[in-house]
Amino acid sequence: MKTTSPTLLPKMREHGLVIDELPEEVLVYDRDRDEAHCLNRTAALVWQHCDGKTAPPEIARRLQLELGAGADNDSRLREEMVWLAIEQLERIYLLEHSVAVPSQFARLSRRKMIRGLGFAAALAVPVVTSIVAPTAQAANSCRPNGASCDGSIPCCNGLPCGVGNPNHCN
């Protein structure tokens, strides 16, 4: 049996995902886990450069070119931003495999990075927001107005079945 060890070359996961690219963010729906993720521009750029061939320092250089003047010119700070994004992407299973984070970049936090960047440049900090999508059963767990009542499934309006009309949700 082949075991995989962490690598320094991150690779984006491409299977089981529905991806919608918007002007300032990327929405990713993970069909395998029923989770939706919103990647801000910085996190999305990092993820898009995770091709399994490009090392994080090079991703940081590319990020500087793509973000332009709004990004910090300090190469270590840019690389910290990349590693922060990689850690977030790995945590939500958007990378193919585990990535070995060098010790000098371990335990990064957005709060620490924002303190070092200042408010204006903090907009470039990678942010990933996630929600768990309801299962089909949970999404169909109430009856709409006008539906007939049998007492097993509540009405969506929050009222008990039969208020005002004994056999229908109002």
Along the 170 residues of the chain, how does pLDDT read in single tens digits? 344 445 679 999 999 999 999 988 999 999 999 899 999 999 999 999 999 999 999 999 998 888 775 455 566 677 888 888 998 999 999 999 888 877 766 666 555 655 555 544 545 667 787 877 666 555 556 777 777 776 667 777 666 666 666 677 76
Mark whether 119 and 141 lie in a shared domain: no
In a domain, 1, yes or no: no
Do 90 and 29 belong to one domain? yes
How many folded domains does the chain comprise? 2
Residue 79 structural domain: 17-133
Q: Provide the 3-class DSSP secondary structure of residue 17.
A: strand
Position 61 in a domain: yes
Tell the residue number behind the tokens 């993820």, with chain if given: 47
Q: In what order do the strands lie in the sheet with 128-132?
A: 17-21, 25-30, 35-40, 128-132
Q: Which of 132, 108, 139 is nearest to 37 (CA)?
A: 132
Residue 3 belongs to some domain of the structure: no
Do the domain assignments include residue 4? no
Same domain, yes or no: 108 and 161: no
Domain assignment of residue 43, yes or no: yes
Does pTM surpass 0.75? no
- Domain-embedded: residue 46: yes
At 60 the three-state DSSP class reads helix
d(CA 125, CA 80): 10
Say if 7 falls within a structural domain.
no
Instruction: Note the pLDDT of residue 161.
Output: 67
Q: What is the largest CA-CA distance in the chain?
A: 69
